[in-house]
């Protein structure tokens, strides 16, 4: 405490203390504003699916920016949600099919962006629907048929089950198979299935294997508008004739399909800088990615299950920030990080600087007031002969201390007034000494 009292009026000591305080605050904020990770993991889906292909493209783009992305193949959306919810899984992001998640179970997940449509493809064997002229147009026609509705853990299984239930069919109304796409294809070829549900983008490699199989066709959802009304997360999408395969003329006419939105989902504590990087690379990937998307339709912030990350919302609306628009990613990150720390410090310290003159004047007055208190005592005791020697000694000490006080020109009057009062007290002491 004595040390503080001794140095509180020392400008050098105060300056050093101020710099130490700034350094402590800067270090604290530096820790509280961490940089984005250089290594992340994305849960995709089947190795032959478009989630995986999209992940591979994103992986390549991120590598150019110095960020390593590990891809984890899974059974689909259900598995991906479980991995995201598991803090020990190591998964940071995942591809999620729209309309599958129960949001109440995943309160800490956010959408980065919708990236492409995932139509519901219903492949069927013409020979299985002879009574309907070889055409499947309503899901209710699947009653009594052998149908693969997707494997456990997949978004296909969830969505197919929802559509079939809405169509008045329970699992008791048809023979259910829960198969992976390739397994379903093999059974299809052997004539052991009548229909197969697949939820996948039009570019997914697995679709090519299906349309190369003779005797099967794609269903057109004639009740598409009704399903979209019932399930808001779905969109009605027109698939032009031949867009799946011109060579095989598939589909053989324009068809209506129901489409969910494949969404890139992450945890709500994701780094804002990483959101910017992911969206920037996603824009580049999706410029020519999907047959069914309209120009500029994706990445999208609409029709998503999980709430859109606040920085993703800003990016999708206004584009990248000035720094990220004009500087390399990591340069922009470090400059932005520095700014996020310095600006709060300026907000704190700039107002303080305006009070420095007032504080300085206050401490000067406090210091002078203590001297005046000592002068009062000497003046009061000036007439006591026994205290004459002590009075002169105390006064000499005061004169020495007052002589060492440094003040600005603005405060010089205060100091000179004090010196005048010290002189008056000395004069009074001298007067009493002469009288004795």
Per-residue pLDDT of 100-156, as tens digits, reads 888 889 999 999 999 988 899 999 999 999 888 889 999 999 999 999 999 988 889
Q: CA nearest 122: which of 159, 165, 94?
A: 159
Residue 197 has pLDDT above 90, yes or no: yes
Q: How many helices (H) and strands (E) does the chain have?
A: 15, 10
- Mean pLDDT, to the nearest integer, of 181-191? 91
- Mean pLDDT, to the nearest integer, of 425-430? 75
Tokens of 71: 């891809």
3-state secondary structure 110-169: EEEEEEEEEEEEEEEEHHHHHHHCCCCCCHHHHCCCEEECCCCCCHHHHHHHHHHHHCCC
In whole angstroms, how large is the CA radius of gyration of the chain?
A: 39
Per-residue pLDDT of 408-421, as tens digits, reads 666 677 777 777 77
Residue with the larger pLDDT of the pair 403 and 253 = 253
- Residue 434's pLDDT is 63
State the Cα–Cα distance between residues 94 and 376, nearest whole angstrom: 80
State the Cα–Cα distance between residues 415 and 421, nearest whole angstrom: 10
Q: Determine if the pTM surpasses 0.85.
A: no
- Residue 14's pLDDT is 59
- Residue 108's pLDDT is 93
């Amino acid at each position: 405490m004595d040390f503080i009292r001794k140095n509180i009026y020392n400008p050098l000591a105060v300056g050093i203390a101020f710099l130490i305080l700034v350094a402590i605050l800067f270090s604290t904020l530096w820790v509280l504003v961490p940089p984005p990770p250089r290594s992340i993991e994305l849960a995709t889906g089947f190795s032959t699916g478009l989630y995986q292909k999209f992940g591979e493209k994103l992986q390549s783009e991120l590598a150019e920016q110095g960020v390593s992305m590990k891809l984890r193949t899974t059974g689909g959306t259900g598995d991906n949600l479980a991995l995201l919810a598991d803090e020990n899984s190591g998964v940071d992001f995942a591809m999620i099919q729209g309309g599958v998640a129960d949001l109440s179970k995943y309160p800490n997940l956010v959408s980065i962006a919708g990236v492409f449509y995932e139509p519901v493809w219903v492949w069927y064997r013409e020979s299985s629907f002879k009574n309907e002229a070889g055409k499947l147009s309503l899901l209710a026609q699947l009653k009594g048929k052998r149908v693969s509705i997707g494997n456990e853990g997949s978004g296909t299984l969830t969505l197919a089950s929802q559509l079939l239930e809405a169509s008045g069919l329970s699992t008791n109304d048809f023979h259910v198979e829960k198969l992976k796409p390739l397994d379903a294809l093999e059974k299809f070829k052997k004539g052991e299935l009548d229909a197969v549900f697949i939820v996948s983008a039009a570019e997914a490699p697995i679709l090519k294997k299906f349309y190369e199989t003779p005797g099967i066709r794609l269903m057109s959802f004639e009740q598409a508008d009704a399903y979209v009304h019932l399930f808001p997360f779905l969109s009605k999408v027109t698939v032009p004739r031949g867009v799946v395969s011109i060579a095989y003329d598939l589909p053989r006419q324009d068809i209506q399909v129901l489409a969910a939105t494949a969404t890139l989902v992450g945890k709500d504590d994701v780094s804002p800088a990483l959101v910017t990087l992911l969206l920037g690379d996603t824009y580049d990937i999706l410029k020519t990615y999907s047959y069914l998307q309209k120009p500029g339709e994706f990445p999208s912030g609409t029709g998503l299950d999980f709430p859109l990350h606040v920085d993703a919302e800003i990016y999708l609306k206004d584009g990248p920030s000035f720094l990220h628009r004009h500087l390399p990613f990591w340069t922009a990150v470090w400059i932005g990080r520095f700014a996020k720390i310095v600006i709060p410090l300026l907000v704190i310290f700039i107002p303080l600087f305006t009070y420095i003159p007032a504080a300085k004047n206050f401490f000067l007055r406090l210091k002078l007031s203590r001297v005046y208190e000592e002068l009062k005592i000497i003046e009061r005791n000036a007439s006591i002969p026994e205290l004459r020697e002590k009075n002169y000694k105390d006064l000499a000490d005061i004169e020495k201390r007052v002589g060492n006080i440094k003040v600005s020109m603005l405060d010089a009057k205060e100091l000179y007034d004090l010196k005048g009062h010290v002189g008056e007290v000395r004069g009074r002491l001298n007067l009493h000494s002469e009288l004795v």
